[in-house]
Copies of this chain bind each other. A is one copy, B any other.
Amino acid sequence: MSEQLAGAMYPEDLRELVDAELGRLDFSAQPAAAGLEGAMRYSLLAGGKRVRPVLVLATARSLAADPSRYLPVAVAIELIHTYSLIHDDLPAMDDDELRRGMPTAHVKFGEDVAILSGDGLFAEAIRIFCSQPGEPARVLAALGELTAATGVTGMVGGQYVDVAGKAADAEALRSLHALKTGRLIAAAVSVALTLEGLAEPETIPYRRFADELGVLFQIVDDILDVTGSDEQLGKPHGSDERHGKLTYVSLFGLERARELAASSHAKAIAALAEAGGETGDLRGVADYIFTRNE
């Protein structure tokens, strides 16, 4: 339990595994599509904490599995996350020009290439997921979970509710983010459980942890949009307000939003304690999400 003593440390070794694997990806042998591949890499290798793939690997490690074994699934989820950012940034969507301090894909490469680089990342994500070693029935079940979390009942559905401006109260806000952000974060944990074949009852505390983590992530995101500097965020802060978006801060005020974040973090940690296993790395991810300033 020495990991839990260190507690708040983000599992940088897992992030390094992910970054190395992402750098190794080779999408195309076709010179004619080199520009497309370049655009995909531009967005994919822009850095970040790699929270979702690290969650896959940290969950695997908590179950005493070798994290490096799940790299295909982990990078697949990062590709899906990246594709969703590219499409969300488009002029027809959130119309954002900066991300992580760099021009967004459509600013850099044009809208057509940006759309296609998102589409390409999604397709390559599934292709890579299909190459995950292990029992095929489990891989297939895990992929079914992931795509359910990505589609109409998940990420894409949440983004639709967001652009359609249909979230009008606290319940709708929570539901929107549960779809748009929460489902993919939860899937990062649950695919590792499925791949390891964990018995259903044992998955329950992990799933509670993962669901809470999605909520925490979004509350902190909303707070940072108000309190963060442009430099820390890598984009102009206050964009939620400018877009007239309902957020945890606009709905509850900053102080109450901070309390909600603390309460959500505590719930996540409590769920983790019930999960048993070597959950130090998962704790490190939860602590990072709670305390991050970027």
Contacts and interface: CB of A to CB of B under 8 A. Distances in A.
Interface of A: 27-30, 32-33, 35-37, 40, 87, 90, 92-93, 110-113, 115-116, 118-120, 122-124, 126-127, 130-131, 135-137, 139-141, 143-144, 147-148, 150-157, 159-161, 163-164, 166, 172, 175-176, 179
A169 to B, nearest CB: 12
B120 A93 contact: no
Closest 10 CB pairs of A and B: A123-B151, A92-B111, A136-B136, A130-B144, A127-B147, A36-B160, A136-B137, A33-B157, A126-B147, A27-B152
B126 A126 contact: yes
A152 B36 contact: yes
A136 to B, nearest CB: 4
Contact of A122 (B32, B122, B160, B166): B122
Contacts of A120: 151-152, 156-157, 160
Contact of A92 (B27, B29, B110, B160): B110
A126 B116 CA distance: 18
A115 to B, nearest CB: 6
Given A92-B115, A112-B93, A143 B160 contact: no
A220 B38 CA distance: 33
Nearest to A119: B156
A161 B33 contact: yes
Given A30-B157, A126-B147, 19 more contacts: A32-B157, A32-B164, A32-B175, A36-B164, A40-B152, A87-B115, A92-B110, A92-B115, A113-B160, A119-B156, A120-B151, A120-B157, A124-B152, A127-B147, A130-B143, A130-B147, A136-B139, A139-B140, A140-B140
A40 to B, nearest CB: 7
A143 B116 contact: no
